[in-house]
A and B are shown apart, each in its own frame.
Chain A
């Protein structure tokens, strides 16, 4: 599993969902969690964190948000040579096949459909860790 000092950015236009994701991450032992309310807020945070030498390790983002959507944020991240390997998990109510295909084509690391429970997020993070580290969780 990712170490306890892993730095997360949680992006969602609803504070309730940011609170739920943050609570689950905290229960899993993570303390370094920042929030943004849409892609327009998140994108400069991601770039600045990288420039300052303290980049985010994982982005967890909603899809459907005013301003910049989650999938556009994902495309920005994958289009930046310095950020393109960053794990990016989509947590969204958009579960149509066409949405999942679009996210996969854009390079999403994993996809969680709302409503979800704490165990789902934990399992997805374990799988993501294995994928990025080439070992069992």
Chain B
């Protein structure tokens, strides 16, 4: 049985390899911006609640599984990361900040996808959508969510995985 078939049968929110691939992708990409990052303890919420104020989202398709990966940031963490990465000071969410969150999401998904596909998962290429505002982010999701929390020196950010099956 391929890993993708196993993924389709088990609960993806409890799949350690899937979780680890996204955690490693997040840590590598955020570190590359010059930002220290600490991983928190993953947890599952029965209903999606937006954790950040800006999010990059990617539809996740592998075999029969359909889900959404959301990389969300609170204001202070995204401003801190962009200051380290681009040497730019931002104090409000604007198109430049949104574009940068899209690129970070693209890189994190790309790293995780490479790891998982080399294990046989079969994730497809996808282009992220960036959404701002907690209410809008919430409207894209329904159901149980795996939350992978992270912190930097100045704020919090999250990977949120929801699965429709």
What residues of chain A have their CB less than 8 Å away from a CB belonging to chain B?
13-17, 19-20, 63-66, 92-97, 114-115, 117
> Main SS of chain A's interface residues?
loop
Whether the pair B99, A14 counts as a contact (CB closer than 8 A) is yes
Q: Report the stretch among B1-9, B45-53, B113-121 that lies at the interface.
A: B113-121
Residue from A15, A20, A65, A92 with most neighbouring chain B CB atoms (10 Å):
A15
Q: Which of B32, B117, B125 contacts A115 (CB 8 A)?
A: B32
Q: Given contacts A16-B86, A115-B29, A115-B32, are A93 and B106 in contact (CB under 8 A)?
A: yes
> Main SS of chain B's interface residues?
helix
Q: Given contacts A15-B96, A16-B86, A20-B86, are A95 and B127 in contact (CB under 8 A)?
A: no
Interface size on B, residues (CB 8 A): 22
Q: Given contacts A96-B113, A114-B110, A115-B32, are A14 and B103 in contact (CB under 8 A)?
A: yes
Interface membership of B107, Cβ < 8 A: yes
Q: Given contacts A65-B127, A97-B118, A115-B28, are A16 and B99 in contact (CB under 8 A)?
A: yes
* Shortest distance between the CB of B17 and any CB in chain A (Å): 16
Q: Which residues of B contact A114 (CB under 8 A)?
A: 106-107, 110
Q: How far is the CA of A127 from the CA of B102 in the complex (A)?
A: 30
Q: Which residues of B contact A15 (CB under 8 A)?
A: 96, 99
